[in-house]
Amino acid sequence: MPSLFDPLTLGKLTLPNRIVMAPMTRSRNDDNGVPPALVAEYYAQRAGAGLIISEATYISASSKGYSRIPGLHSAEQVAGWRKVTDAVHAAGGRIFAQLVHCGRVCVPPLLPAGIEPVAPSAIAINGKNWTDLGAIDFVVPRALETGEIPGIVADFAKAAKNAIDAGFDGVELHSASGYLCHQFLDGTINQRTDQYGGSPQNRIRFVVEVIDALVAAIGADRVGIKVSPQIKFNDVKEPDAAEVYPLLATALSERKIAYLHGAKQGGYDVHAGMRHLFKGTYFAGAGYDQASGQALLQAGGAEAIVYGALFISNPDLPKRFKDGIALAPGDSKTHYSKGPAGYTDYPAA
């Protein structure tokens, strides 16, 4: 019976346990998307995780969706991340970079002058994006021309190569939470009439092309993907998730990537819908505690469990689980604030 404390082979890596740290935006980077020393300290404190997945990291200047998130397209960003990955490795850990294009979540003040937010179709999100400049209304994005799509796919591949140059052990494609990849999957957001829209087969095309480009750039054993079907965020709806996600699982399985990370954050049961069709390593996330994570592993429902919020306030979460040490409560007010408070000041037990 697999336990949370059993090792797991992931490509060329051996994870010492099956307790994975979820990708979590923490907004401590500078305005150029460069992680400072504080970020290295934060991740190194959490190096006891079987694997750390970084906060969402934008692939190009035109894909940044929030203030103070990090990037992986400039030399300065790569140098900043190198200090983070070195610190994690020195502390005995392993870390993948989560790659994102925010699509219609981007708002003009976060983008280079004259660059508009882009998306599969010209449909705005209802509501506002909270930035350091205040709350800004989402705008109607420009629908991508079919001929522009290979350039975005290439930006993902370049960012993956940059991630390896920065010392990451691999990358996770962010196809969750209503960002660009997820926008292509959802037929209420993607109303294209070219080969990237319409049928579920067409709507998964963009994500599969990005995965193929990542695999070509850095190798299948260093590529993972996260999905969160029907998450109630960024106007995601996905009425036909039950058709789209099994199709995607099969296409991903054929690519023999390192892992599929399903976060069950909406009505659709992603684990039931994808796990049996994806023949590789499956990570299950969202809402797990030690007992429910252990139970899912034992039932064969996943190879590893992904923990988010618990890792924020418990940097030594695997040790606390193993030794039965009480967990520290977190504070959502400091999730996206500045500086060390609520970030690097949660002590190990």
Residues near ligand FMN (CB under 6 A): 22-25, 55-56, 98, 174, 176-177, 226, 263, 285-288, 307-309, 335
Kindly tell me which of 5 and 336 has the beta carbon lying closer to ligand FMN. 336
Q: How far is the CB of 248 from ligand FMN (least distance, A)?
A: 16
Q: How far is the CB of 129 from ligand FMN (least distance, A)?
A: 14
Q: How far is the CB of 97 from ligand FMN (least distance, A)?
A: 11
The span from the CA of 215 to the CA of 109, in Å, is 33
The span from the CA of 177 to the CA of 55, in Å, is 13
For residue 182, the tally of other CB atoms under 10 A from its CB is 26
Residues carrying an active site annotation: 179
Residues in the chain: 349
The span from the CA of 55 to the CA of 71, in Å, is 10
Amino acid at 282: Y
Which residue in this structure is represented by tokens 């993607």? 190
Which residue in this structure is represented by tokens 């790569």? 78
Task: Tell me the three state secondary structure of residue 149.
Answer: helix
For residue 137, the tally of other CB atoms under 10 A from its CB is 11
Task: Tell me the three state secondary structure of residue 280.
Answer: coil
Q: How far is the CB of 206 from ligand FMN (least distance, A)?
A: 18
Kindly tell me which of 143 and 211 has the beta carbon lying closer to ligand FMN. 211
Beta-bridge mates of residue 226: 174, 261
Kindly tell me which of 177 and 190 has the beta carbon lying closer to ligand FMN. 177
Kindly tell me which of 17 and 197 has the beta carbon lying closer to ligand FMN. 17
Largest CA distance in the chain: 56
Closest CA relative to residue 309, chosen from 8, 21, 16, 19: 21
The span from the CA of 98 to the CA of 104, in Å, is 18
Kindly tell me which of 82 and 335 has the beta carbon lying closer to ligand FMN. 335
For residue 132, the tally of other CB atoms under 10 A from its CB is 12
Closest CA relative to residue 209, chosen from 283, 201, 141, 177: 201
Kindly tell me which of 226 and 320 has the beta carbon lying closer to ligand FMN. 226
Task: Tell me the three state secondary structure of residue 261.
Answer: strand
Residues 6+ apart with CB under 8 A from 345: none
Q: How far is the CB of 26 from ligand FMN (least distance, A)?
A: 6
The span from the CA of 229 to the CA of 57, in Å, is 20
Q: How far is the CB of 106 from ligand FMN (least distance, A)?
A: 15
Kindly tell me which of 166 and 284 has the beta carbon lying closer to ligand FMN. 284
Closest CA relative to residue 244, chosen from 156, 182, 152: 182
Q: How far is the CB of 119 from ligand FMN (least distance, A)?
A: 18
Residue nearest ligand FMN by beta-carbon distance: 308
